Structure formats: C-alpha cells, structure tokens
Structure 1
Amino acid sequence: MTPSLALMLQLTILLPLLATFAIAVTGKQPNLRESVTIIISLAVLYCVINLYQALKTGASIEVSWWELMPGLDISFVIEPLGMLFALIASFLWLITTIYAIGYMRGHHEENQTRFYICFALAISAVMGLAFSANLFSLFIFYEVLTLSTYPLVTHAGTDKAKQGGRVYLGILLSTSVVFFLLAIVLTRLISGTLEFTAGGVFDDNIDTTIAGAILVLFIFGIGKAAIMPFHRWLPAAMVAPTPVSALLHAVAVVKAGVFTVLKVCIFIFGLDLLPQLPTTEFLLYLATFSVLVASIVAMRQDNLKARLAYSTVSQLGYITIGALLATSSGVIGSSMHIASHAFGKITLFFCAGAILVASHKSNISEMRGLGYTMPITMGAFFIGSLSIIGVPPAGGTWSKWFLLMATVETGYWVVMVTLMLSSLLNIAYLLPIPYHAFFPGKDAKPANSAIKEAPLPSLIALTITTFGCLIMFIYPQPVYELAQAILTVSGVSHGQ
C-alpha cells in the first residue's frame, strides 16, 4: 500500500470535517461558502475515484486510527461494498450541493450556513461508515450520522419540525442502543471478534438459535433500514427541506441502514450460515410485509414528499430481502439496488423540491397541468419513476431482475409475487403524477403561466441524476462488477 492511498482514504473522512470549519468562517459570504462546499466535495470525489481505481488493480488499503483496547479499534479498509456506497455518496453530495444552492436561495431558507455544516458532517460520517473495517468503527460513525442529521431534520425550527426531529432521533437512537449495541456485544462475546470477515465470524459450532436471535437484534437495531415497525422516523423526517430529504433518502441515512444490513449478513453471519438460522425466514417475510404495506400506504398519500417517503420504506425492503435470501443473485441485486434507488429517488425528491420552489405546490392533487410550465422537471420525474418501478430504460430494471432471480432460486414464491405486486403498485402511485402533469384532462384548470422552472442550479442537478438513471440501464457494468467483487471478497462465487 502506498502512503498516498492511505492518505486519500483518510481524506475522504477528514475533508468534509475540514469543510465544516471553512463553511463556518465563510458563512456571511454565501457565494464563497458554497464555493468552498463544492470544491471540497469535488476533492472527496477525486479521492474516492482514485481509491476505486486502486481497488480495481487489487491494491490492499487499510488504515488504523486508534485502539481503545484489544479488539476494539477504529480502523478502515477498502472493499467493494464500501466502495460502492462511497462512490454513490461522494458523487451525490456534489450534485445535492449544486441543487441546494438553487433550492435554499429560491426558497429563501434561513440558517443556510448551519445546513451546509451539518451536511458536511453527515458526509464525513458516511465515509467513515462506508470504509469501517469492523463493527465497532461502523457503530460509532452510524451514531454520528444520526446526530449530525438531526439539526437538518429540524431545520425549519417550527413545532412540526421539532416533533418530526424527536421521532427521528427517538427511534434511531433507541433501536441502536436497545438492539444494535446488544447485538454487537453478543457477537464479540461469542465470536471473539468484530472484524468484518469473509464467510462470517461465527464458527461451525454456533448454536443456530442464539445466532438467529442475534440476527433479529441486528435487523431491528439497524433502524436506518426502516423495516417495519421501526420505519416511522422516515415519514416524520419529511418536515425537513427537500435537499435534506434527498440526503436522507438517497445519499446517506437510509443507504447507511441497508449498507449495514448487507455488511452484517455477508461479513458477520456469512451467506452459508444465514439460511440455517430459524429467524431468517421470519425476517424475510417481515421485510416482504414492509415492501407491500408501505407501497399501499404510499398510494394513499396526497402530499408528494410523504408518498415518496413511504415509497422509500418499500424500496429499502427490497435490499433487506436480497441480503436475507443469502444467494449471489440476492447480494448482486441488493447492491445494485442501492445504486439504482439512490439515483431514482434523489431525482424524484429533487423534482418535488423544484415543484415547491417554482409553484409552491406540495400536494399531488394540485399538480395537474404542471408539465406545460415545468416540462424538464416533470420529464425528469417520469424517468426517476421508471427507475423506481424497475422498467427500461432506467437502471432499476437490473437490480429488480437479480432480486427476482434470487427469489426463484430459493423458492420463495410469496416473496417473488410480492415484489412483482409492489412494482405494479409503484406504477399506480408514481406514474399518474407525470401523466396528469402533461395530460391534465378537459376539466382541469389551465396552467398558471407565471410558474416557471426551478432555479438553474436545481435544474442542472436533477438533470444530471436523471441521466444517471438512464446511464445505469445502458451501462450497468461498473456497478455490476463491484457487486460481483463483493461476492469474491466474501468467498462466494457467482452462481452459488
């Protein structure tokens, strides 16, 4: 390992921290403050891309910061799953920053400096979490991410925002302390290690009942994955500004949750042990229940952000299902869905924010005819919807294909039917929005000619993520190769 690569790994975590100080100093000069944010996000993306290139060549990159006691240390390592998460987060931090410049100014938001500071802190936590070499390191950055995003959820300062923040913080911290931390302690006591290990950390003599109980603690403890009944924090957080919603739903928080679920399933339990545990099937059906019920609830929401929030709960269930199926197709599907859902859902939230800034509309029932005055935004919403549904020409097609293949391979026909039914429900609650925007019907009021597209930075950002949805369909190879590399690192061959 060359010193430069070790330095780059550390800079991905430290640069966003340095950004917080620079943003605070330049807070009274918005142009300079936002330039600092963009420059540092570009620097982080540059470091991550270089680490990605090194990983492709087979480089081994490990860094240790601090050993609290033997077996409990804060250390980092580059591996394919963490790299996939880091690439998505670093790229979308840059794009969300561009979007936020247009949104925060166009919506005349207060406390913008605090917003950019907390955003940078959250990205630093994401990078630390993505590259964590063990459960101890991951848990620390997992909690830092929760705390750093709380001020973003309560950004508006209203009673509703504070209530949403209390629900957000209460559920995420309580699940972490009651379930997640206990699962980590039991894992250490039984296995003697918290290091992420190919094939898992438990030996062949482990009592499957005990291991199954630990798995339940992990899945319930990783509240950011929003599995029911620990999902209410996600709709509650919709009181936040749209760039924060995009951060929560596509870049950082929920992806940290499902990323952690995948890490635990693959590198703590191992794909050989998971199917043997008595609780795996229960959790699999619980995730399936979350997928279906959240889709049904989404259909009943008139508020656009609330509909997208419940859609996210449903889509996260897909990733948890793929992890629990414990097959190569499931892992590939879940990994690719992290990427495809990120681009699809961030596009939809960007569009929701653009509609709010330009037309001051937040309810779907008020959006008929908007396609005439906001054609770029509503066209982007259509493409983002296709990615979430999982049909060509959008990237979600491939991830859902592999997930369905995994259900066929394992014979979980109820799960397969539910995933297909959920996609039909996706169509029912997403496609009518752009359809009625462009074809409002004879009885609809004529579009207000005073409504224009959102500010240019926001428009540029949502256009980039829309093209990302299309590119991931046309050229999915980089994401697929990383997903395959996860299997290689975990000691599983594709096709097993």
Structure 2
Amino acid sequence: MEPGGFLLVIILMTSLVPGLVIFFLREQQFALRTFFNLGGAGLKLALIISLLVGVYRDGKTYSFTLNLLPGIDLVLAADALSLLFATLSAVLWLVTTIYAIGYLEHSPKRSRFFGFFSLCVSATVGIAFSGNLVTMLIFYEILTLATWPLVVHRGTPDSFRAGRIYLAYTLIGGAVLLAAVVWLTVLAGSQDFTAGGYLRDLYPEHEWALPLLFVMFVVGFGVKAALLPLHSWLPRAMVAPAPVSALLHAVAVVKAGAFGIVRVMNDVYGIQLAADMGMTLPLMGLAILTVLYGSVRALFTQDLKRRLAFSTVSQVSYIIIGVALAGPVGAVGGLVHLVHQGVMKITLFFCAGNFAETLGIHRIEEMRGVGRRMPWTMAAFTLGGLGMIGAPPMAGFITKWYLGMGALEVGQGWVIGVLLVSSLLNAAYFLPPILAGWFGRPQHHWSQDRFRDGLLETHWMLLLPTLAVAAMALGMGLLASLSISPLYWVTFIVEFEYGYEHIWRAVFEEVDP
C-alpha cells in the first residue's frame, strides 16, 4: 500500500458512514439528518481536494490493496482519470444534497431516502477509485442495489414498475459484466488498470476471445450508459423524485456506465489494441445511433422529465464517440463531456424539479410564460438547454468542437455531419420550451403556485443550487483556456496518462488567445 492509501478509504467512508447513521434517524430529526448529509458531502469534497493537491502539486501516489481471495485483490487507486470522475461526483453530490433537502422538506421517508442516497454516492466514488476490474465490478453492483430504492421511493405502482424494469436491465448487465471479468481474470490474471492497456501480449493467443470479451464489457457497462438498445429503463425511471433523476443522469448511474467503457478502452485493452481488433468503429457506430435515436425520441416527447431523459440517452454517447475515434483530440472531447454533460444535465433536472415543485409543471406545453413567474429558474434552464445544443460559449460547445476536431484528425470527417444533425435535433427539442417559457402567454395565473421563499421565486435550497450549476455550465465554456477548467485537466490526462505528447499544443494553441 502506498503512503496515504488510507485516505482513499476515508473518502469512501465520508458518505458510507453518514448514510448508515441516517437510516436510524427518526423523520423528525431534520437538523441531525441535515448535519450528516451536508457534513459528509463537504468533508468528501475537502478530502478529494487534498488528494488533488497531493497528486498534482506534491507528486504523491495513493493506493490501497485488500486481498479478497488468492490472486484476487480489491484495489483503490488515485490516477488522473479517477480524480476527474471523483471530483465531479463530489461537487455535484454536495449541490444535489442541498437541493434534495429543500425538495423533500415535507416528504415522508426522508431518512430512508438520504441513507440510500449516500450509499449511492459511496458506490460511485468507489467506481471512480477502482484500481482493477474486480473492484469496479463490486462497486458497480453495489450501485445497482443502492439506486433501486431511490427509483421506487414514491411507492406508487408506476415507480415499482419502473423499479422492476431498472432492476431487470441492470442485473442482466451486471451478470454479463461478471462473466466477462471472471473470464478475463482466468486469461490474464487480476491485473491493475494500466495506461495503454495490458492485453496486447495476449491478443495473438486469444484473438477470438478478446473481441468477444470486449463486446461483453460494452454490454455490461452499456446498460447503465443507456446505449441502444439497452436504454429503455432510463426514461421509465423518471417517475423518481427530481434529485434522484439528477443523480441518475448527471452523477451516478449513466456516468458509471460511460466511465466503465472508458476504463476498458484505455486501461484494459488500450486504444490501439481495440482499434486493431476492429472494435472501435462498431462501437462508434452504436454510439452514433444512440445519439440520433435519443434526440428523435426527445423531440416527440411532451413530458419534460422524459424529454430530458431521452436527451441523456443521446448526450452520454458523445463520451463513447470521443474515445472510439481512437485519437487524442477526440479523446479530449469525449472525456471533457463526462464533466460538461453532468453539469448541464443536472442544471436541467434541477429546473424541472423547481417547475414541478413550485408550479406543478410537468409537461412542455405547461411552460408557456413561466419565465415571468420564475425568471431565475428559466434563465438556468436556458443556459442548460443552449449548452446541450452546443451553442457558444457554453460548455457543450467545447465538447462538440473537440469531437469535430478529433474526427478530422483521424480522417473521419463524416462524424462532423452527425454532430451537426444532432445539434439541430437538440435545438428542435430545447428551443421550443425555452421560447415558450420566455415569450408564451400563460394559460392560467399559476393557481397551483405552492410557495414563495421571501423575495425568491421558490425555496432557496432549490434555487441556489440550480443557479450554481448553471453558472458552472457557462463558466466551463467561457474559461476553457484556464488551468482551472475541465478541458485543461482532461488534456493533461490524455497527454501524460496515454502518451499523446503533441496533444497539449494541439488543444491549447487553438484555445488560448
């Protein structure tokens, strides 16, 4: 174990321990539950920041190993890619916790909700810091079990139906992933993730098994990443409360699936081996079909949260396109979208929750004129929607710019046409609610208006997190050339973790004035 490896365990405990304590709190113990929720989220973020300082400023390494069985280890490790995902999870968990406290203020079963909420984040951070496939599989399955109670939290027939579908998809995907991990462990042993992969020497001997295993990994992780045709659980899960929807789409489940595919591509097979096996082009084709299918379904969906869900089906696959392009600039575009999509999508789900909780708005046609009553929330929704379209200077523009550059770099210029069609579809389903919200004529006087919070348009614990993540989505685009930006960090990952020595100049000579 490297010095300081226990810090990784402590980071996991900052959400696991509060979650277990919260289960035993009475519903009336609001202050104590809030203390554990916010205290755990704040401490996790502080510890991850200290980890970042240790890795990037002081050059420390962090790893923790626990032997589970002969030849099978649970390994936690902090590399650049894991820190990217863990930091995103910690930041968005903190703002989602604040939002959830306000959203569920008068709801029953809050202790159960926040207990599983914390366990879900523990599993997500465990996936981020997993140092090998066995460890990732363990936390991946814990994530499934922790999120199911959140999906069915309302206890309605619709929520239980959605929960059954969610469980069916994810358990089948988990079974496929388990089979793939066991098979690969038999072939290669239990090896730690390695930048550039560790299977190159096995390919000549197992030239039929490794491609089949690759497909199994894509299926296993692709269920949570909502790749076509494994996506159907995601729109149905929108019966869950808005904080759960935000967690599923921006922080935990779909990101865990996409992150798993990135890990397999980069740190198990390696991009070059995946390309040599002929796996990258079919994977990119599947991701492109998912992008277009999700956009078309969103266009013809009038329920606001379901439209956002189909948008997630589409948008998460940009990450897969980026890594499947098998070039450094495309990898930058895909990995930076891991962050950008999370921030933009959580903004949109927070806005949808504000509309529903304050005015009872659930459908697109009900948004007419809502900007007059809730201008701050509508402004945040506008920024999130423009970001998903890819309009400058939003974070989504940075993603699509580098995906396009990456496609040209590897001679796949036709991908730019896909990005253009996708952006037009994004505009077709985001601009109508934006225009209706600002310029439409209200059909009523908001007789369902549930509360104001002093001078604010809704409860401050709903509004302030929404404005914070909307500002982040704008700032990540405006400040993309600065060293604090996700683009800067992702470029570091691609250059120094995966050996693309020219990528720093290729990216930042284009960005810096």
TM bin (shorter chain): over 0.9
Specify which of 473, 479, 485 is matched with residue 469 of structure 1: 473
Paired residue for 2:29? 29
Q: Give the superposed CA RMSD.
A: 1.8
Letter in structure 1 aligned against 2:473: C
SS of residue matched to 2:76? strand
Q: CA deviation at 1:491?
A: 3.2
1:402 alignment partner in structure 2: 402
Deviations 1:245-282 (A, max 9, x none): 00000011111111111111000111211211223322
Higher RCO (Cα < 8 Å, 6 or more apart): 1
Residue of structure 2 in register with 1:484 after alignment? 491
Distance 1:68 1:209 in 2: 29
Contact 1:197 1:490 in 2 (8 A): no
- What residue number does 2:177 align with? 180
Question: Is the 2:325–2:410 contact (alpha carbons within 8 Å) kept by the matching residues of 1?
Answer: yes
Q: Does 1:439 align with 2:439?
A: yes
The answer (yes or no) to whether the contact 2:280–2:326 under 8 Å persists in 1 is no
SS at 2:5's partner residue?
helix
**Superposed CA offset, 1:36-79 (max 9, x none):** 20011100000011111112122111111333221x11111111
Is the partner of 1:273 in helix, strand or coil?
Answer: helix
**What is the TM-score when the length of structure 2 is the normalising length?**
0.92
Structure 1 match to 2:125: 127
Deviations 1:416-435 (A, max 9, x none): 21122111111111122121
Q: Is the 8 A contact 1:81 1:482 kept in 2?
A: no
On the 8 A contact 1:351/1:462 being kept in 2, the answer is: yes
Q: Which residue type is aligned with residue 301 of structure 1?
A: T
1:485 to partner: Cα distance: 3.0
Unmatched 5+ residue regions in structure 1? Answer: none
Amino acid at match of 2:346: I
- Quote how far apart the aligned CAs of 1:150 are: 0.3
The CA distance in 2 between the partners of 1:205 and 1:195, in whole Å, is 16
Q: Which moved more, 1:413-422 or 1:224-233?
A: 413-422
Instruction: Tell me the secondary structure at the aligned position of residue 408 of structure 2.
Output: helix
The 5 A counterparts of 1:9-408 are 9-27=8-26, 28-57=28-57, 58-70=59-71, 72-105=72-105, 108-177=106-175, 179-204=176-201, 206-207=203-204, 208-222=207-221, 223-408=223-408
User: 1:449: how far off?
Assistant: 7.3
Ranges in structure 2 where 5+ consecutive residues have no aligned partner: 507-513
CA distance in 2 between counterparts of 1:162 and 1:104 reads 19
- How far apart in 2 are the matches of 1:143 and 1:194? 20
Question: How far does residue 212 in structure 1 lie from its aligned partner after superposition?
Answer: 2.1
Query: 2:235 and 2:172 mapped to 1: Cα distance?
Result: 17
Aligned-pair CA distance for 1:153: 0.1
Provide the C-alpha distance between the structure 1 equivalents of 2:48 and 2:275, rounded to a whole number of angstroms.
34
> Which residue type is aligned with residue 155 of structure 1?
H
Return the TM-score normalized by structure 1: 0.95
- Paired with 1:460 and 1:300, the residues of 2 have a C-alpha distance of 31
SS at match of 1:76: strand
Please say if residues 216 and 283 of structure 1, whose CA atoms lie closer than 8 Å, have aligned partners that are also in contact: no
User: AA paired with 2:119?
Assistant: L
Contact 2:22–2:115, Cα closer than 8 Å, also in 1: yes
In 2, Cα distance between equivalents of 1:317 and 1:492? 23
Number of residues of Structure 1 aligned to a counterpart in Structure 2: 489
Tell me the distance in 1 between the aligned counterparts of 2:7 and 2:189. Answer: 31
CA shift, 1:450, in A, is: 6.9
